[in-house]
Amino acid sequence: MARVLVVEDDQFVRSALIRHLSDAAHTVRSVGTALEALREVAQVGFDVVVLDLGLPDLDGREALKMLRGITDVPVIVATARDDEAEIVRLLNDGADDYLTKPFSVEHLSARMAAVLRRAHGSAGGPPPSRVLQVGGLTVDPLRRRADLDGAPLDLTRREFDLLAFLAGRPGVVVARKELLAEVWQQSYGDDQTIDVHLSWLRRKLGETAASPRYLHTLRGVGVKLEPPQAGPRP
């Protein structure tokens, strides 16, 4: 059972989602505008937000950015915009997952379950009591803290889960399918989601795909995290 906020201005769609989610034993609240959503999130604790982008008072992307400014609650975006560039922008703006309209309530339920598993820390990975050290990178799964050369890294929940999973297997090439299964808790998905999160991590680790230090992508194989190679001796 989860506490769900449905942000949807179409009354027919809204009623159908409320009925289905309530039948599945979730506690559901609903609003029809972005400003109402911000007020609800600020005042009430939720486990997941289902956010429609076609709201009457504020563009959905702006609403998503504002939500991210006050909470890290998982957000599933429902959008009629299906071009790849837009999906990447939504993920960059902080969406945890997305659904392209029209979608079935069964599909929404599956995505919600996956997001909630990740939020509750059930992604596969190293034992939570073990502090991981890879070069100048330290990852503490128990405290959900990561430091690079002694400075704390500001990571989202998904970025941390991905980093911790890879740090628990230093030098091991992890297949993208395994990352989807263990970090995203999904048996299917596209590489774009992984690429976006790897790009965020690289930026925060001070590297690029062209000049990697910790994160290395092996085309067609997978991803590995390992300490930076020592430079040539003088």
Closest CA to 76 of 20, 8, 139, 161: 8
Distance CA 103, CA 137 (A): 41
CB 152 within 8 A of CB 137: no
CA dist 79 to 9, 63, 99, 203, Å? 13, 13, 6, 27
Beta strands 3-7; 48-52: pairing state: parallel
Q: For 98, list phi and psi in degrees, rounded to 5.
A: -145, 155
Which class is domain 3-119? alpha beta
Which class is domain 132-225? mainly alpha
What is residue 43's predicted lDDT score, i.e. its pLDDT? 85
| Four-point Cα dihedral 7, 157, 86, 45, nearest 10 | 10
- Residues with Cβ within 8 Å of 93's Cβ and at least 6 positions away in sequence, in order, are 61, 64, 65, 68
Domains in the chain: boundaries:
3-119, 132-225
Full pLDDT tens readout for the chain, 234 residues: 788 999 998 888 889 889 988 988 888 999 999 999 999 988 887 889 999 988 899 888 888 888 887 888 889 998 877 777 777 778 878 888 888 888 888 888 888 887 887 666 544 444 445 788 999 999 988 788 999 999 999 988 888 889 999 998 889 998 888 888 788 776 566 667 788 889 989 999 999 989 999 999 988 788 999 999 765 444
